[in-house]
Structure 1
Amino acid sequence: MSPRVALLAGGVGGAKLADGLYRALPQGELSIIANPGDDFELHGLTICPDHDTLLYTLAGLGDRERGWGLAGESWNALEQFGKIGAPDWFRLGDRDLALHIHRTALLKSGSRLTEVNRELQRRLGLPDAPILMATDDPLRTRVRTPEGWMEFQPWFVGSQAKPEVLEVEFVGAQRARVSAEVTEAILSAELIVIAPSNPLISIAPILAVNGVREAIASARTRGVQVIGVSPIVAGRAIKGPADRMLRAAGLPSSPAGVARALPGLFDTLLVEESDLTVPLRAELAPLVSRIIGATTVMHDDDARLNLARQLLQAASDAA
């Protein structure tokens, strides 16, 4: 019998595991808690990059080569933005733009972000609307670089994540409250999974929302385990700047660095099998109760599903 799973996830790396779990589990047994820290406003529109990457991936609509946006997208609006002097550093495709316009209109009508995004999921082919926003309140990641503080998307996309990150903060975290849907998803879960997403800017913003850590702690008191997948393989991030950010934070670019970046979170950590050396086991031993070697690089659909099954088997073995 499959467990009910709550998955904390960022965008690209998180979406791959989310896709595997979504296919491995019966419909309705997976709740995905999306990182809100990447959300921002552009052209007067509310954009939720990690949510939308998860949505497009699970619905089979995403551009697999880029890892974001819609497959077969056109770029007429983006070209026109450039011609008229509007910001064009963030690549919004024409069909993607339609989603942001409609989302913003629904938000302005008074609907909650969670409600709006779940309706978009249903419209685009996910009847169980499994992706939940960690909070309906504004929470925005920003980073301090040698040039000063930057909003997340201008740093990550506009500057291609090149400026060194000296500090990370989550603006609005003190006021952000966990949504009722996320609280229910965590408290009803039989397994909590941490996706192979950047621990500092994808998972940490979710945990910064008031009520998320408390819900996880409550679930653990009744025996629910937390299993994570390391996003670091052979000392490098599978995707994105996680390796550089860990080193800048004084942590090793390794699964041990991931565990230290999220102290006390993992009961079990899945690590790329070829990385699981005796020294790494020794380094992880004080940080994680159980360490499991697995094939964590997800090059294709089969690899996504296989990792999901390895993870579920690891949870079953520990039960």
Structure 2
Amino acid sequence: MKPRNETAVLEFLLLGLTNDPALQSLIFSLFLSMYLVTILGNLLIILAVSSDPYLHTPMYFFLCSLSFNDVFLSTCIIPKMLVNIQSQDQSITYTGCLSQVCFVILFAVLENSLLAVMAYDHYVAICHPLRYTVIMKPCLCVLMVLVSLSISTVDSLLHTLLLMQLSFCTDLEIPHFFCELAQVIKLACSENIISNILIYISVGIFAGVPLSGIIFSYSHIVSSVLRLPSSQGKYKAFSTCGSHLSVVCLYYGTGLGVYISSAVTDSPRKTAVASVMYTMVPQMLNPLSTA
């Protein structure tokens, strides 16, 4: 029988990280703590940057933008998870699930772009210090953030529109704690090859290109720093980049860990646990890394 598209009345079930009721209260407390730390830490950075005129520089403007993004990305995922645990209701509406997919993609892609933009800012500051104020003008900084936001929005909307064209049948259980795009596509009973191809293309472009830009920037930064005559100058340059580089390693390292874990294990639950390291931990530790 040809599958019917009944998405107007669908609800998905988010199975979460575990079926063990004894662990639910622990998971609730842990993720609530992580969320509060994430929100508080990033809001403090935003408040500090906005209130101190000495911090109105390109570096802190991008840092403030990253903090905003981290707040929104965490808010897209954690509150719904906490509500489901507290109410013991695993359901999420079709509209809610697609909205979550859309916003998670948007802010995840924007995170990649912002990290690349911050790497470029450090590259100009260290490799071309005399031209820094000429190159990194306020209008250029704002333009780079707006272009990154526009690209992220287009990518997220494209994935969401393709997802809306899929038909879903009876198996509506998502073995995850949020509506992750690949897991939702697996539930479709209609042809989904275009959506899967788009995922690989998007990952290659919106993760691979920023990462390549970061590697390019830091290769030139390291080369330039090593040529500095004084050890004090080298220390100052490396300390300037150290916090951002730690954030990059944390974000891409945990993301790579998710893909490796999904490749070596057939358990979606284990992949979901690994996803915590990609979608929550970097956003929580970013304020600590940049302090």
Question: Could you state the TM-score of these two structures normalised by the residue count of structure 2?
Answer: 0.25
Structure with bigger helix share is 2
Of Structure 1 and Structure 2, the greater strand share is in 1
